[in-house]
Every structure is written in C-alpha cells, then in structure tokens.
Structure 1
Amino acid sequence: MSWDPNLPLIVQSDLSILLETHHADFEAVRGELSRFADLIKSPEHLHTYRITPLSLWNAAAAGMPVDQISACLQKYAKFGVPTSVLSSIRKYAQRYGLLRMEDVGNELYLVSDDTVVLKEICAYDSLKKYVEDTRGERAIAISPVSRGILKQELTRLGYPVEDLAAYRQGEFLPIALRDDDEAETPFQLRDYQKQAVDAFHRIDVEGSGVLVLPCGAGKTVVGIAAMARCKCATLILTSNVTSVKQWKREILSKTGLDQDQVGEYSGSSKEVKPITIATYQILTHRGKKEDEFSHMGLFSQREWGLIIYDEVHLLPAPVFRATAEIQATRRLGLTATLIREDGREEDVFSLVGPKKYDMAWKELESMGWIAKVTCQEVRVPLSGMDRDHYGASGARQQFRIAGENTAKLDVISHLLVRHANEPTLIIGQYLDQLAHIAAHTGAPMISGSMPYDSREELYEQFKKGQLPLLIVSKVANFAVDLPDAAVAIQVSGSYGSRQEEAQRLGRILRPKKEGAANTAVFYSLISEDTKEQDFALKRQLFLVEQGYEYAITYWGQGTKGQEGIHTYHEV
C-alpha cells in the first residue's frame, strides 16, 4: 500500500473519511465524496464524512459503479484505503439490485440470482408471512399489496430491492408543454432539468425515485415536465396552501391544461380533477387522535398514474403508510435535501424511491442559474437581562432565550442600514420575537395565522419593490417564490435543523432580475456561548455540504469603541 502525505483524504476502517479543507483538490474531492458519503462534521480544517449502506445504495441507484467509488478513495487517500473498507463498500453497494421485484405473467415475484440470499430472507420471522409462496430456488411470488411493506422491511434488514415491476398507466391525460411563444411566462427546460426528468422517467425500466435540486432550480418545472412525459392523471402533494397555488399557476402557464383540469384540495377547497394538488396537512387531518384520517381516501379517488411528493423530506408518517399501499403507481419525490429530522431517509428510499439525480448547489451557482450567496454567522452576546434569565433556566428554555436575545435588535438595525434599499427578509421561529422586530422596524409580519390572501398581497408588494422589508415566520420556509430577495437575516430557528437551513437559504437563491447583481447575503444571528451556538454547528453542516464558505463574525465594540460586526474567519 503506497503512502503520499500530500493527498487530501484519510480513510479510516470504520468507514469514516477525513478531508483536508485547505488542500488544492478540496473542491473536486468534496464533489465526488458527496455522491456516496454523508457529511458528519465540518470544523475549519478537517471535514468528516461517513459511508453508510444507504449512501452507497443511493449512489448505486443513481448509476455510480462500485469501482468508481473505490477508485476515488484510492486516488486521494494519503495512507491508502484499508482492505476492510474496500470490502465493505463492495458488499453494501452490490446489495442494491441483488433482490429485484419483477412481473412474471400475472404474478409479482421477488427474484434473485443468489439462492443463498433468498434462503436467508425466508428465515426472517418478520418476513415469513410475505415470502411463503416460493417459485423454485430463485423466486418468490408475493402479493401486490405487500409490495411496499416488503421493500420497507427488506431495506431495514440491509437488502434494498430494485423495483422493476410494472406501473399502472393510470387515467390517460394528454399534457403538452407550451411552446416558448405561447407561454404566459416563457420558459425552456434547462439542460440539468432535462437530465433530471430523464433520470426519473426511463421508459419500461424504472418509474419511481427522488430528484434532489436546490431551491430556485425549478423543481416545480421538473415536476411538470415529468407529468408531460407520463401523460396521466397526477396527484401532487405539497407542504402548504401557498405551494398549492404556486403549482397551479405554473401548471396553467406552462402546459395546455385549463382551469377545469387542475384542482386544489386543501382546507378551503376539495376539488378532485385530473391534476389535483393537495397539502400534506389535509391528508393527515382527523377530528380526534383516535379517528381515521378524513382525506387519505384521496389516493384512491382517481386512477392516478403519477404521484408527486413535493418537499419529500417533509413526508408525514401517515402518508408513508398510504404510500406503501400504492407501489404500482409511479412516484416522484422532489427536494432540496434528503435530510429528515426524524431519521426516516430509508423509508423515502424504499417507498418513494432511491435518489435518481442530485445537482450540486455550487455547480448551479457557477452557471448563473441560482444567485451567488455569501453566508455569515454573527455571534451576539446575550443582553444583561437575558443573561440572568438564561443562567436560571432549564436547557429547553435556554435555547428559546438565546433565540429571542433582545441584543439581536441592534444587529438587525445595523444590517438594515448596511443593506439599505436591498430587498430583505427577516426570518424567525418565535412569533413574539418577530412581532417585536416588526414593531421595531415598522415592517409587516407574515405568520401562519394571517389569511392566505393577505399573505399573497404582501408577497406581491415585495416582488414589485413596494415593500423593501418583510418579517416572516417559518410559514415562509417552503415554496414561497420571492426571486428578488437579496438579503436574509435569520434571527432564530429550530434545533439544529439542516433541513430548515436549506429552505431558508432557498428564499434568496433564486436568480435576480436582468440588470440586477445575481448575488445575495445570508446572515444567521446566534447568541454567543449558548445552546443556540451549539445547535448552529449542526445547521452549518448543510452550508458546508453544499460548498458554501461562511464567515464567523462577532458583534460588539471595535478597537475604536464603535459598535458593529468585527473580526471573522472563514469555514
């Protein structure tokens, strides 16, 4: 095994990888690693990645050969790659496709060329009721209704299934994308959007999977293009009513479909049409905890040929259960990040589908399709009153006190002067804090309790430049199209949520209008030496994963006694 101390990687026998951030090949190596390993830690000098069975299965499903993974590690590892690591990579990566679901005549089979594996599976107590009907040594006939739950269980046991069984066509619906000169908003699929649709829709081969695209990259357009490929009745599930309206607008402007063919299914409207757009909230609504879910029957109200899960990382547990029952329907997941705060990434893999396409945020930025963003963390000392309260409180209350630190108001005022006349969003977790900021700045505040029409009116004023500043709660984390926003000031957030960091950054990533600088700034105000700072390290992982450098700065008195933001280092 040859050693070269000038190379950037240290590969360890526990499948963890250390990457030197100051190495000349850092960017290239990070891009390769992200395809088959997960970022775990991101201190200044060394980033830690971990290879997991799921990261390898997603890489295999996306078409990355195991030899390419091994070659990458061997090329850049300064002390070589332990033989045990290469063996583990091959063992786990090759498990994807070892088991397949296929149609044989009128039956659904679980098949494998490895007879030993099939015997092992038949021995698991948790699987026996699904795998009793053997067909020789290489196949087991299974019930179509068990298709989802069996894939889910096998994935948990370390045997991911490649699902090659047929999908129902569903109700035929001719969907054509408008020509550029016909569209209300002229558009043409970008190259990466075409690649994403191609990765999802391979005729007669595969029909389900997840596409990972940055906020602002046009996930809605990709979904519409997939609908046009499949030409069938489609159920679209998304995060909130604002997103429902946005999907409807985009569908009507970019296809030949008319109002009578596109329905909204939410709290205020229950239309079931050939294209139906519903919220996750309405599907999981029930009067009492012990009641059945009132609207889960939507999955069977039409012969859907495609189900689109927008923001698939938010998929609620009851929708997972319903998804397990409809595996014969094509499924498309759209997301900016596969990270789930509940750790159910394996269920997305088995029930919605594996990752089929992943576009790097920085790559889109280099092509000008999303804004170039500068990220800065501003560490703010607790105010005197908050410090006393913080010291006398429990851990959960400490996090909130740090988030609502009243000293952040001075930083906000400073930043608003620095970015005067730039479209700015102030985003936070706590409504009392946001109301206080709104009173302090004189800007309107948007929260979940505000009527939809009032929210839309404020968003529209912001888009037109009539409002330079908006205060928004977490209701604006998802699917709010504010392309001109150039500055985001995050004043408080959820406990270390990388998922939320992705969505909030996404509010300012959309490319700016022609003539405007295609740049943006993302500030996070963090109370220094508190629980909030500890959780901020986890949130920063997302920024580092996507290739962003961020500056850590400090609020306080400078050398000349002037209050402001001082001293920083890059991460």
Structure 2
Amino acid sequence: MTTGPLIVQSDKTLLLEVDHPDAGACRRAIAPFAELERAPEHIHTYRLTPLGLWNARAAGFDAEHVVDALITYSRYPVPHSLLVDVAETMSRYGRLQLVAHPTHGLVLHAVEVAVLTEVLRSKRMAGLVGERIDEVSVAVHPSQRGHLKQVLVKLGWPAEDLAGYVDGEAHAIGLVTDTWALRPYQEEAVEGFWHGGSGVVVLPCGAGKTIVGAAAMARAEATTLILVTNTVSARQWRDELLRRTTLTEDEIGEYSGARKEIRPVTIATYQVLTTRRKGVYTHLDLLDARDWGLILYDEVHLLPAPIFRMTADLQARRRLGLTATLVREDGREDEVFSLIGPKRYDAPWKDIEAQGYIAPADCVEVRLDLPQGERMVYASAEPEEKYRLAASAPGKVRVVEQLVAAHPHDQVLVIGQYIDQLEELSGHLEAPLITGATTVKQRQELFEEFRTGRIRVLVVSKVANFSIDLPEAAVAIQVSGTFGSRQEEAQRLGRIMRPKKDGRTAHFYTVVARDTVDADFAAHRQRFLAEQGYAYRIMDAGTSPGQPG
C-alpha cells in the first residue's frame, strides 16, 4: 500500500498530513485547484470546488493534471466517482464560448446544442441574449457580455470569452530597464495575462505586482485606468511608474478625493469611484472619459460591490487584476472570475521565497490568559461584544512591549483594528500612530521616516493593510483584526516580506487571548498562509520569542 500524505474522500475533501515528508510537494501540486478549509497543527483539510477547478482549467491545467496529482499523492485508492466528477466539472469550462461574429457581432456559441438549449431555458437568461442564429449560436448584445458571464457561472456552465478586446487609444509606454530586469516569474505572469486577454495574477506581497502591471501596460501600449485602494497607494503607483517606465509626470493623472486629473494613464481610488450623491455614482463618467485600452485592478480581492457592476460594462477592455490572495470573505470569488477574468498566473509564496525574492518568515501565535475578572466580563458579554473584549485585552500591551524589546535592532510594525487599543499602545511604546484620521501628507511623512530608520516602531490601523511599501520592516505584531479575515492576515504578513539587505528572517506575531473567539478567529485567519506553507508556532505570553511555547 502507498504511504502518500493525502487522503482523498468522495465528498471532495482532501486531508493532508502536514508532517509527512512529501507534504510540501503535495501542497504545491494541489494548490492550483484545491482550496484550504481548515489548518490545525497536523491535518489540513482542502476542498475541491467547481470554481477552483475552472480557475485551474483557465490557467492551463487539464483534468489529467488534477487526476495525476491526486493519484500520485493519495495514501489510498482515489474514489472513482470523484475522478469522474473532476473530469466532468472541468470539461464544463469552454463548452460555451463568447465569440465575435462578422454579421451578428457578439455571439454565444456552444460546442454542443444540448448545453445551449439547457442554459437558454433558465429564467436568469431573460434579456441577456437576442435571436437564435443557428442551433448552436445565439446573438448577445455587447452591453450584456459581463452580466451573461456572471449568470453562466451561476448556472454551472462558465463561458470562455474569446470575443477579443478593443485596442483602445494608443499611447506609447516602454519599460526603462537599464538598472533592473523583469524577474522570470514576472515575465511569465505578464505572458499568462496577455495570452488570456484578461484575468488575475496572484503574487505574494513584495514580489513586484506593480512591476507586472507596468509590464502589462508596456505590452498594451494604450491608455490605462488603474484602480487602487487609497490615495497613498495611488502615489506609490505613480512613483513606481515614473521610475520603471518612459511615462512622464504630465502623462499620469490622479483621480481621488484630493485631485481630479484625467490623463493617458489615470490612477483612481475605489473610494472615489463608489462615492454616491443622492443615489447616483457621480464619478462613473471616468470610465468613459477616455477610450481605455487597459484597466488595472490593484488588490482585486478588495473590489467593492459597485465596482463589480461597473466592470460588467467594461468587458470589451483588457482587464488585469493583481492580488496576493484571491480569497474574498464575502464569497464573491465567482464575480472576480466572470468579470475580471480567471486566474492566469499564481506563484506560491514559498517558491518565490526559495528564489530569494521575498524574505523567509517566522510566524508565531502568542497566547495569553485573561485574568479572572476579565474572563467573567467576557463570559457574560453579548456575542457581538465578545471579540472586541478579547481582542482588546489589556494584557496584550505588556506582551507587545516584551516583543518589541526582544527585537531591539529591527523596525517593527504594530497592527490592530481598534483605535483606542492602538492609542494606548502608541503611548506605551512612545511610537507614532497612523489611522484613517491621519492625513495623507502625515502618513507619507511617517512612512518615509520609518523607511529611512528615523522611526523604529510604528503603530498602524488597518489603513496600512494594503499597498504600503515598507521594505525594511522586519517585525509585525498583530493585536487585533477584522474578525476571521484570511486576506487581511496575508496582507499583514506581506508588510514584512520584502527581502532584507542582510538576508535575515522576518517575524510575524499574532497576540491572541486564549479560550475566546479571538483564538477562533485567529485559526480561521491563518488558513490562507497555511496553504502557502507557513506554519504558526504557538508561544505562551512571557516566553522568550526565540523559544517554542
């Protein structure tokens, strides 16, 4: 009998024995198509889902690849019914195709008539398609291209979009590579996106997603709209484009709360696009302000719901989503799949680390007990208050002070959710605090002082979760977060993943109150990083950080 690390079950769950010598190779083999659900110490549970299998199919993995990975690493014979189901699920992708027709414009074409007949019987298809052209083709109004793809995913027949894209307004953009070169995985990411036409590139924080975006712009040589999470991020994008490309300051506009510039390359914040006045999105004209040839979505996993609706109208434009994780806590991954595009490239974090492009990281969960008085207050609290009480436990201040003291020569980020907790930590540590109330100018000044080493410890709220470039940050201490958010956990670890000049390891601490929902949420948050191969050591508060708990 084989002794592989994987147990494949007929209910589509995969159990991976973490301590098995082949666990790492197995995890890498199943990562393109399986999603991690639970990650306790010894056995990790993955699940096969239609969306995961369709993403793998769109990225170039066929059913034979999936079946081979399951059989190779499975400890027991893989259930035949599951192998059949994998093959049938993956074969659904592409049996419907959106294509350009010389006389009918946009057409939904079926490889077999029965599939088209089935979907056309659905009430959800009402108003999305026009006249039947022949038994395997039906006309589609171009304005319904995105909505149709959304519905077809819900119906279990994801369409392959082969209808092509308008070139948009041409604009010369080149890369300036006299002092640097695209890394091999960045070239592969751009190639995967360009070959597919639209879609998502998944790369670890610190692996150069902005450079992938710049290279895609150079490939398109067209006007580009870049959508980002906040104004600080917008200005980092602008600085990076000025450094890496032939673009000049006059060619790059910022469209944010502070400025309303429309240039050949325009960087807009999600917030300004989703601003409503009297129920109307007042800045939607930006989408039609130019004949855009490329739309870039930074941190695509954070797309606000209104942007999905806007993206449905942009299907004739090339679209590139950039993210460190496709995980969405609202379950709208299928919207990203249908409206931005499928995953075109995904580089495992540990592979990029092995190449030396991101820092190795030591992840530690520091557990403390609530004193008896706080324990009673927590026990008698309403459910909606429990997390705040546990996450803001006063004892965390002392733990953070000890962790900061244990890293006297490192630059440290202290990250949390609750402003009063962060204000207390800022006072105890005598460190500056950045929150949503901090002006963009103040934020930029404090981040610059941190980058140059004039500030060693910085306390930040969730405004620093995303798109903040702090290369020398080597330690992050997380005291509270957005409940069980896996993508937030990944982003926070990403703040310290830039490779250090001396090659040292980064340290990521999560301070957790034992036997509370704080601990439950922490376990949920860690799932994505466990999927990438990061193991959390458990340490008791008061133990030296260099020792196991």
| TM-score clears 0.5 | yes
- 1:461 corresponds to which residue? 449
- 1:311 corresponds to which residue? 299
- 2:245 corresponds to which residue? 255
Q: Does residue 192 of structure 2 align to residue 199 of structure 1? A: yes
Compute the displacement of 1:550 (Å). Answer: 1.5
CA contact (8 A) 2:485 2:524 kept: yes
AA at the equivalent of 1:277: I
Q: Give a deviation string over 1:134-192, Cα, whole Å, max 9, x none.
A: 11111111111110000000001101110010201101001011131xxxxx3211010
Q: Give a deviation string over 1:92-143, Cα, whole Å, max 9, x none.
A: 1011111111111041111112111011111111113323411111111111
Q: Does residue 547 of structure 2 align to residue 541 of structure 1? A: no
In 2, Cα distance between the equivalents of 1:209 and 1:566? 42
- 1:487 corresponds to which residue? 475
Give the SS at the match of 1:135.
strand
In 1, Cα distance between the equivalents of 2:516 and 2:9? 33
Compute the displacement of 1:68 (Å). Answer: 1.1
- 1:552 corresponds to which residue? 538
Give the root-mean-square deviation of aligned CA atoms: 1.3
- 2:90 corresponds to which residue? 93
- 1:559 corresponds to which residue? none
Compute the displacement of 1:417 (Å). Answer: 1.4
- 2:268 corresponds to which residue? 278
Runs of 4+ that moved beyond 6 A: none
Give the SS at the match of 1:338.
coil
In 2, Cα distance between the equivalents of 1:348 and 1:27? 28
Which of these residues, 36, 41, 47, is aligned with residue 39 of structure 1? 36
Normalized against structure 1, the TM-score is what?
0.94
Q: Give a deviation string over 1:503-560, Cα, whole Å, max 9, x none.
A: 10010001123xx23320000000111110011110111220111112011125xxxx
Compute the displacement of 1:69 (Å). Answer: 0.6
Give matches, 1:158-307, under 5 Å.
Answer: 158-180=156-178, 186-202=179-195, 206-288=196-278, 291-307=279-295
Compute the displacement of 1:45 (Å). Answer: 1.7
- 1:519 corresponds to which residue? 505
Compute the displacement of 1:72 (Å). Answer: 1.2
Compute the displacement of 1:357 (Å). Answer: 0.2
In 2, Cα distance between the equivalents of 1:156 and 1:84? 23
Which of these residues, 125, 128, 131, is aligned with residue 129 of structure 2? 131
Gapped runs of 5+ residues in structure 2? Answer: none
Which of these residues, 96, 101, 105, is aligned with residue 104 of structure 1? 101
Normalized against structure 2, the TM-score is what?
0.98
In 2, Cα distance between the equivalents of 1:47 and 1:53? 20
- 1:429 corresponds to which residue? 417
Count residues in correspondence: 548
In 2, Cα distance between the equivalents of 1:310 and 1:322? 16
Compute the displacement of 1:568 (Å). Answer: 4.1
AA at the equivalent of 1:67: E
In 1, Cα distance between the equivalents of 2:31 and 2:247? 39
In 1, Cα distance between the equivalents of 2:373 and 2:546? 23
Which of these residues, 5, 8, 17, is aligned with residue 8 of structure 1? 5
Compute the displacement of 1:275 (Å). Answer: 0.2
Bigger drift between 100-109 and 128-137 goes to: 128-137
Which of these residues, 460, 471, 475, is aligned with residue 463 of structure 2? 475
CA contact (8 A) 1:554 1:566 kept: no
Give the SS at the match of 2:397.
helix
AA at the equivalent of 2:309: R
Gapped runs of 5+ residues in structure 1? Answer: 181-185, 557-562
AA at the equivalent of 1:300: D
Compute the displacement of 1:380 (Å). Answer: 1.0
AA at the equivalent of 1:443: A
- 2:357 corresponds to which residue? 369
Give the SS at the match of 2:78.
coil
CA contact (8 A) 2:119 2:155 kept: no
CA contact (8 A) 1:555 1:566 kept: no
CA contact (8 A) 2:299 2:323 kept: yes
AA at the equivalent of 1:499: Q
- 1:503 corresponds to which residue? 491
Give the SS at the match of 1:201.
helix
CA contact (8 A) 1:102 1:109 kept: yes
Q: Give a deviation string over 1:267-286, Cα, whole Å, max 9, x none.
A: 01000100000000000112
In 2, Cα distance between the equivalents of 1:503 and 1:76? 31
Q: Does residue 515 of structure 2 align to residue 529 of structure 1? A: yes
In 2, Cα distance between the equivalents of 1:311 and 1:97? 27
CA contact (8 A) 2:202 2:325 kept: yes
CA contact (8 A) 2:403 2:545 kept: no
AA at the equivalent of 2:47: R
AA at the equivalent of 1:191: P
In 2, Cα distance between the equivalents of 1:149 and 1:531? 39
